Structure 1
Amino acid sequence: MAEYTSRIAIDRPAGAVFGFVSEVANMPRFLPTVRRATAQGPGRVVMEGESHGHSYRADGWIEADAAARRLRWGSDGEHDYAGTLDVHQRGGSHSDVEVRLHLTAPGRDFPREAVQAELEEAMQRLKQTLENEAQPPASGPVSLDPDHRVRDDAETRDSRPFGHSATMNPGDL
């Protein structure tokens, strides 16, 4: 059993950071070994990629707690892989992100330094992505959509004048 941790400061509001990391489709943008991440219904995810010279496809679970700004995940297979990611507001528009990983792979020996380096790379990529791209929606109340992705309430607000299904939502055009 191996435990890994990393922490990084990001110059973005905690709500925006959490909204980004909890969106499954964004994971390949900052996780170095992940090439594809797909939500498979409520609380389920499939990750595909390459790690330490081996391709992988991993089925697992994921839970987003928007109120606590905590993301939890784990794998289903023979490898015991789980983690948590916490986003903490650090005043103004600054956040701290902390990740804790637990990894046990019977019959496989993952070099501790390599796993820690990949974790550090993921944190740096997350920071660069969030700080260098167009600004995500401002921090504010968030809610889970039907696919259990976190959305800023401004994104989910119905802009149709009377909320009637016969009128088009301008955001859908």
Structure 2
Amino acid sequence: MGDYAGRVEIARPAAEVFAFLADIRNMPRYLPTVTRVDPQGRHGDHDDVAVEGRAEDHGYHDEGWLKAEPEARRMQWGSHGQHGYGGSLEVTAAEGGSVVALQLHLASKPGAAAHGPGDAEMQAALQRTLASIKACCEAPGGAAAQETGQGTDELPDSRPFGSSATMNPDL
């Protein structure tokens, strides 16, 4: 496994995009394998979360942490159960909207190289996740409506974009 990075331009203001992404209630909308995220309390500078989902035809449950830095429009996360899994994203202002830059770090489990996805598959899964973020934020009733509390039930579901590299339990 290793490190993976990607970015996507979104035709919405950076503050709106970050607010949408940092709200854990929205994570199942843009992370294709995630079906539920529950807060588990605040510890120091981060929030603990429990994540449930389905990847490669089986369910998973993981507990991890999420640190949001609204002033910098940056988030970092990791898993308590999957050693070597973590990531970050940053939303920056750009002409015509914003840019979301996503980074993942996935350390190999013993035996994972023989059974897990390769680098090209992981990069493709990361790109599908970025496409899902773009679709959710740019859809009518997307991130801007979420910011004002209107239209959040009308956001598209991300699962048509395929599985995500971000919470694959086989990595």
- Partners of 1:19 and 1:72 lie apart in 2 by 14
- Partners of 1:79 and 1:28 lie apart in 2 by 23
Q: Does 1:126 align with 2:133?
A: yes
Match of 2:122 in 1: 115
Output the amino acid matched with 1:126. I
| Aligned mate of 1:54, from 51, 55, 58 | 58
- Partners of 1:62 and 1:45 lie apart in 2 by 7
Output the amino acid matched with 2:80. D
- Partners of 2:144 and 2:109 lie apart in 1 by 42
Gaps of 5+ in 1: 139-150, 156-173
Alpha-carbon distance change, 120 to 45 in structure 1, aligned in 2, over 3 angstroms: same
| Aligned mate of 1:104, from 107, 115, 118 | 107
The one-character-per-residue Cα deviations of 1:24-67 (angstroms, maximum 9, x if unpaired) are 11011011111111111121111111223332111000000011
SS across alignment from 1:95:
strand
Q: Does 1:28 align with 2:28?
A: yes
Alpha-carbon distance change, 18 to 78 in structure 1, aligned in 2, over 3 angstroms: closer
The one-character-per-residue Cα deviations of 1:50-104 (angstroms, maximum 9, x if unpaired) are 223332111000000011100000001143210000000003x500000000001
- Partners of 1:114 and 1:13 lie apart in 2 by 30
Match of 2:39 in 1: 39
Gaps of 5+ in 2: 150-171
* Percent of aligned pairs sharing the same letter: 38
Alpha-carbon distance change, 57 to 10 in structure 1, aligned in 2, over 3 angstroms: same
Output the amino acid matched with 2:51. M
The one-character-per-residue Cα deviations of 1:111-167 (angstroms, maximum 9, x if unpaired) are 1222222211111111011111315448xxxxxxxxxxxx96x77xxxxxxxxxxxx
Match of 1:77 in 2: 81
SS across alignment from 2:26:
helix
User: Based on CA coordinates, which of the two structures has the bigger radius of gyration?
Assistant: 1
- Partners of 2:32 and 2:68 lie apart in 1 by 21
CA-based RMSD of the aligned residues comes to 2.0
- Partners of 1:135 and 1:47 lie apart in 2 by 23
Match of 2:97 in 1: 94
Output the amino acid matched with 2:126. L
SS across alignment from 1:72:
strand
Q: Tell me if the contact between 2:5 and 2:101 (Cα under 8 Å) persists in the aligned partners.
A: yes
Q: Tell me if the contact between 1:78 and 1:105 (Cα under 8 Å) persists in the aligned partners.
A: no
Output the amino acid matched with 2:130. M
- TM-score w.r.t. the length of structure 2 is 0.75
